[in-house]
Structure 1
Amino acid sequence: MFGDSKPFAGAEGLPSSLLRADLIGRAWLTVHALLCNFRLQFFLSCRFALSLHRYVFDRFSIVPYRCGRLRGECFEPFASLRLAELPWSRARAESDPENRLEKASRTRRVLSFMWQGSERWTPEAPIRLYAKRASLRDARRLALAVFRPSKARKEWRIGLEMMRRGVPAPLPVVFAVERRRGIPVAGYHVSIELAGADAFDALFARLACDSERREALRRLGRFVRQGHEKGFFHDDCSAQHVFVETSGESVESWGGMHFIDVDNCGFCRATEWRIVKNAFQILRSFPGRGISSDEQTIFLEALFGRPLGECELERLRRRIRAWAEWKRRRKAVLKWIGLKSKSGPQPPPGREPGESPQSD
């Protein structure tokens, strides 16, 4: 392809390394012209993001992390991150693109910022990192935090084990705990962004064709089942906690899927009880009109990896309804004793999780 390429004028007498560099430069310009197609460029960028997570995990070792009162662990290039100096209280959603506020509540804040690199390693392009801070304020949580590991530490360990087992998830790069007088008051967790990914529920809500909706649910069921086969169990497996790489609106443009928010997850054998629990969590998490009975069947068959008969489907639906009833009673008990339930939005009484409101 480049056999007829001639060196630039006046190249006689120059080192052969410069001539090779000239040919390599011409070859790169040709390849760059071939990458003008947007979808191919997006595919390569997603592959770069995936290889970046694996590259950091395989190449760099884990070292202690220190920043003021913060103590924890990190991958070696990220030891220079100054988490204590991030604008946790000043950041806004749109005011500063470099330090963007992603989520905020009374005790939790999530910031995203661009990381240029460090002396130990400088990536080819800046990387967006997501930093999460969870504060402990009430006395009960402060007392329990003395005797058990923080959520930041659990999410760090689970994220590393997921990478070892090949379960797709954002790679954690830093975790730290802030202590005052020996008592942990806040946990910090930093992970690498999933470039070009969006939440499954947001993508699913934009699908208008029934065939695409069914294919999306089939892919979701297979993805969760693959996690079960590798010994991973997501304790809060909702449609919001599965991110999908995508370059367009159709299902054909979707790429790989990833789990997020894994601080309460674990590794155990996939029993039917756990599989039904994940099915209930996913079905109740679809907003709006939810999914139909036929779509539920497609999802459940993909989740279990085999065709399901009418009797087995009815038995699974009864168990899912039992989960919904147990969640409703648990929420009522917690409200009665003055505690806040950790569960997400509940289905209305008398409606099966994931059932369409228009079907009433």
Structure 2
Amino acid sequence: MRLIQKMAGNAYVFLRRDDWRGFYDPAHSEVLDLLMEHDPIEIKATRTFNLQPNLVAEIPLGQIRVVLKNFGWRSFLHFLASPFMASKAINSFKAALHLLNNGLPTPKPLAAFEQRRWRLVKRNCYVTESLGPLPHVRDYLKLRPDGEAGAREVLALLGSYIRRMHDSGLFHRDLTLANFLLKDGELYLIDLNRSRLKKRMSFAQRLRDLATPELEESDRNLFLRYYLGDGERLELWSQALNLRTHLVRAGRKFRKWRRRVFGHRAPKKEDSLQAALSPRSLRTPGNRPGDETLKGKFLETITFLFRIRAP
């Protein structure tokens, strides 16, 4: 066990216990009991959402409320590749500290733990303070409750936040508008598990993040102006961003078509909740609805290959 200082006024404890390891805020040590219980979510959760492939729940913890995220796997192959990757929980924790150190709002991290067996990630959890139910930028720009003036202010906040984030070296890689929450005139960025820290963001990496938000063309042009500021080549960036945006949208349509053709459907909500809340499903992939088909195909392929090689 050792203390590490990661952001002003906050020290985190590194803890290794059995096959668990991770970080927690000693000011909220009760979070350890929450993580080490077999099934805390089923008992204590007051709100659950985003059931596939992850389970996210809001839970009361002492005098505060926290958000606990149990990360799942989109496929059995991702689980097999986990020994060669950082866990999503630890990655989210480090990205959140990076944002806070650079003055960019995100929910305060309280803990991040991973459980590995033979280096395979069996379970990984990330806990932050809850901001409560807040609107996200996607709905705000769609409904525009404060008219065009309010929309311009939000686009200015969005462009400024992403520019500062990129200049700090954080490549988010999943920068949808639903990942920006609005609170008291500030944006809070969530869902950091895919992010990567870079010494310097390349043009292509910046463009990939900028093309991800689902903005209408007029909003996208205004957002880009706020991102670039004065003195940058707006026309070149605008043309490149429009091209990249079309590619992103084409990719989304292809993935929807692929899921429809190959029969990957979203499970019923009650089935998802029951599977996600079971202790076993929180520990291993292949137990949630929709995983059995892929797992079965994988096992059939392995069996077929062994039959071919048999004398």
TM-score of the aligned structures, taking structure 2 as reference length:
0.68
What is the deviation of 1:303? Answer: 1.7
Q: Which residue of 1 aligns with 2:308?
A: none
Q: Does 1:316 align with 2:241?
A: yes
Give a deviation string over 1:204-253, Cα, whole Å, max 9, x none: 3332522322232222112211212222221111111111213xxxxxxx
Q: Which residue type is aligned with residue 281 of structure 1? A: T
Letter paired with 1:272: F
1:127 and 2:127 matched: no
2:21 corresponds to which of 71, 79, 104: 71
Q: Is the 8 A contact 1:60 1:76 kept in 2?
A: no
Alignment pair present for 1:256 and 2:186? yes
In the alignment, does 2:211 pair up with 1:280? yes
2:118 equivalent to 1:187 = no
Quote the Cα distance in structure 1 between the aligned partners of 2:236 and 2:74: 49
Q: 2:163 aligns with which of 207, 225, 232?
A: 225
1:103 maps to 2:49 = yes
Conserved? CA contact 1:135–1:185, under 8 Å? no
Match of 1:303 in 2: 227
Q: Give the deviation of 1:161 after TM superposition.
A: 2.3
User: 1:66·1:79 contact (CA, 8 Å) conserved in 2?
Assistant: no
Specify every segment of 5 or more residues in structure 2 that has no aligned partner in the other structure, as ranges: 266-311
Q: Distance in 2 between the 1:318 and 1:184 partners? A: 37
Q: Which residue of 1 aligns with 2:174?
A: 236
1:302 aligned partner, one-letter code: Y
Question: Which segments of 5 or more consecutive residues in structure 1 lack a partner in the other structure?
Answer: 1-54, 92-97, 117-125, 247-254, 341-360
Render the CA deviation track for 1:141-167: whole Å, top value 9, x for unaligned: 332223322111111222222222333
Is 1:325 matched with 2:250? yes
Answer whether contact 2:228 2:234 (CA < 8 A) is retained: no
CA apart distance, 1:195: 5.5
- Could you tell me whether the CA contact under 8 Å between 2:8 and 2:101 is conserved in 1? no
CA distance in 1, matches of 2:181, 2:15: 29
Alignment partners' CA distance in 1, 2:240 and 2:86:
38
Length-normalised TM-score, structure 1? 0.60
Matched, 1:213 2:151: yes
Q: 1:136 & 1:320 partners in 2: Cα distance? A: 27
Q: Is the 8 A contact 2:111 2:126 kept in 1?
A: yes
Residue of structure 2 in register with 1:252 after alignment: none
What CA deviation, in whole Å up to 9, does each residue of 1:272-298 have, x standing for no partner?
32232222211x2x5xxxx3x333221
Which structure has the larger Rg over C-alpha atoms? 1
Cα distance, 1:271 vs structure 2: 3.0
Is the 2:56–2:70 Cα contact (8 Å) retained in structure 1? yes
CA distance in 1 between partners of 2:75 and 2:240 (Å): 42
Distance in 2, Cα, partners of 1:184 & 1:323: 30
- Please say which of residues 216-225 and 190-199 is displaced more in the overlay: 190-199
Instruction: Tell me how far 1:63 sits from its aligned partner.
Output: 1.9
Equivalent-residue separation in structure 2 for 1:61 and 1:149 (angstroms)? 22
| Distance change in 2, residues 1:270/1:137 (3 Å) | closer
Amino acid corresponding to residue 214 of structure 1 in structure 2: R
* Identical amino acids, percent of aligned pairs: 19
SS in 1 for 2:212: helix
Task: Write the mapping of 1:117-156 to structure 2, written as runs, cut at 5 A.
Answer: 126-136=63-73, 139-156=76-93
CA contact (8 A) 1:175 1:188 kept: yes
Question: Contact conserved, 1:165 with 1:230, CA < 8 A, in 2?
Answer: yes
CA distance in 1, matches of 2:150, 2:52: 39
Mapped partners of 1:184, 1:322: distance in 2 = 33
Distance, in Å, in 2 between the alignment partners of 1:313 and 1:181 is: 48
The letter of the residue matching 1:316 is L
Determine helix, strand or coil for the equivalent of 1:236. coil
Could you say which residue in structure 1 is the equivalent of 2:37?
Answer: 85
Structure 2 counterpart of 1:7: none
- Give the letter aligned to residue 130 of structure 2: E
